[in-house]
A and B are shown apart, each in its own frame.
Chain A
Amino acid sequence: MNLRRWFLFPSWLWMAALFATPLAIVLAYSFLTRGVYGGIEQPWTVESYQRLFDPLYLSIYLRSIVMAIASTGFCLVLGFPAALFIASSPQHKNLYLQLVMLPFWTSFLVRTYAWLFLLRDTGLINSALQAMGIIENPLPMLYNDGAVLLGLVYGYLPFMVLPIYATLERMDPSLADAAADLGARPLATLFRVTIPLCKPGIIAGSVLVFIPSLGAYLTPDLLGGGRTVLIGNLVQNQFTTARDWPFGSAVSIILMGLVTVLVWAFLRRESENLA
């Protein structure tokens, strides 16, 4: 099995040098002191971790978590019926799936920018409403929490639709028929048969949306105009403008830890379900 060792070697090397080492350095930095001109200095300290509990930062984590939950919730509510439609349509399934995937394949930056273009004061929505005489002054739709949430939902919606679709597709359609035969109305069948059976897909989709929403940087920066500060922006800010690398590192470690625990819990659940 010499060949296998040679084949795995480049990826080992790359992951060790450009994934594990950088994270180890961030971990080390998080226990050091901020230098006078930025950068890092001795002595070793846990000060950065103590500062994490500053109410100012606590509100940022809280806001990020609320934002990620809201984004997951909206994706679920918007994505589930779409997945149901695709799974229950007699033909053109592949076409519909490709329609869901196509925006995902094109640029995330472009998709975020599209909303900047539509929501700005002179954007299409405001121009149209003004032309119809519904409003006089443009509505301030951009650079607020709502715009950021919209951007997150729009960006990660495919991540919710695909796993739910995959679960629905594997489901035995005769179960829903049986419920109907036993007198369940369509909505009762949906809520008491289809949705409970679809739980694995819903959980997978939720994890796939929650994680990138929690660590989002680009969407809050572009659509929030720097006014909606989430964990991702906090990290970036500490490494650039604030030049407080130890604190930025501590925030990164916490964020990383949170994501790891979530994924670990999800994978554990998955393997239990399979066993």
Chain B
Amino acid sequence: MKRWLAVYAAAFFAFLHLPLLTLAVFSFNSSQFTVWEGFSLDWYRAIVRTPQIMEGTWNSIIIALTATAISTVVGTLCAYGLWKRKSPFLTGSLYLSLVTPEIVTGIALLAMFQFVFRWLHWQLGLYTVILAHVAFSIPYVVIVVLSRLRTASPVLEEAAMDLGATEWQAFLYVTLPSLVPGIIAAALLALTVSFDDYVITSMVAGIDSETLPMVIYAMARRGASPVINAISALITVFFGLLILISERVRAAG
């Protein structure tokens, strides 16, 4: 049975990875059909020459970085507060927001923004996307940081306070430094979910705030294209490297 299991596992990993690998290989194909004709970088050049893609990438970067910064701070503070004393109601809402189908979150946010815009004459834009991304990233950050806090000892903070530290100093100089690897992992998770999101984003984005996933989606809806293969390969390699680096950091920390 052992041998069969190993054969199966090889097939399983091939099933997981071959589709992405094929995608990447054919991004270097000079033909736009799935027949290998020769090596070329044409499709990568096409990325740079397509203004929508460049604009979408730029928007996605701004949104992901801002949303990650905010959700990491808010989520870390929240995790610390929950670690000090439980709050079943807040924890419950965080979990609920995590399991809510994305399309429901998306239309609910859209309905709310439209409702608010009846009085305020604002419009959907980058800021509505950022607000939404922070909202759905917070639970991820809280969960990752909380799992790190489970290994932290409350006794150390008590010792610091016995020695004259204020609550704030105990947090800042005792607990926070030990959380850094967890916070980095949480920020990376927030970054990837934010950069990747299509469903919620497409609901709350304005006309001037198309993100990269929205551009890819619109192109893919019209059928496959080697240009999407090229962007996909770049995204996969970028996030793959980011995760590998973070694993190294975590292993070292």
Contact = CB atoms under 8 A, between A and B. Distances in A.
A252 B108 contact: yes
B56 interface: no
A207 to B, nearest CB: 9
Given A3-B168, A122-B34, A222 B107 contact: no
B120 interface: no
Contacts of A69: none
Interface string A100-127: 1111011111110111111010111001
A18 B133 CA distance: 10
Contacts of A216: 101
B33 A127 contact: yes
Given A1-B84, A232-B103, A252-B108, A107 B243 contact: no
Contact of A211 (B82, B99, B192): B99
B236 A157 contact: no
Nearest to A22: B108
Contacts of A82: 8-9, 12
A98 B96 CA distance: 28
Contacts of A110: 20, 23, 216, 232, 235-236
A212 B232 CA distance: 23
B65 interface: no
Contact of A117 (B1, B196, B224): B224
A235 interface: yes
Contacts of A4: 80-81, 84-85
B53 to A, nearest CB: 14
B78 A109 contact: no
B90 A21 contact: no
B145 to A, nearest CB: 12
B17 A239 contact: no
A88 B9 CA distance: 12
A78 B138 contact: no
A11 B16 contact: no
Interface of B is mostly: helix
B135 interface: yes
Contacts of B73: 10
A158 to B, nearest CB: 8
Interface in B152-200: 167-168, 171, 192, 195-196, 198-199
A12 B93 CA distance: 10
Nearest to B224: A117
Interface stretch (A54-62, A197-205, A253-261): A253-261
Interface in B201-241: 203, 213, 216-217, 220-221, 223-224, 228-229, 232, 235-236, 239-240
Contacts of A134: none
Interface in A1-44: 1-5, 7-8, 10-12, 14-15, 18-23, 25-26, 29
Contacts of A212: 101
B95 interface: yes
Nearest to B4: A81
A236 interface: yes
Given A99-B13, A222-B220, A85 B5 contact: yes
Contact of A236 (B103, B138, B168, B235): B103
A49 interface: no
Nearest to A102: B240
Given A7-B81, A252-B104, 8 more contacts: A3-B167, A11-B81, A22-B105, A99-B13, A105-B239, A110-B23, A154-B16, A263-B95
10 contacts: A1-B84, A14-B135, A18-B112, A20-B93, A102-B17, A106-B192, A114-B20, A117-B34, A190-B1, A212-B101
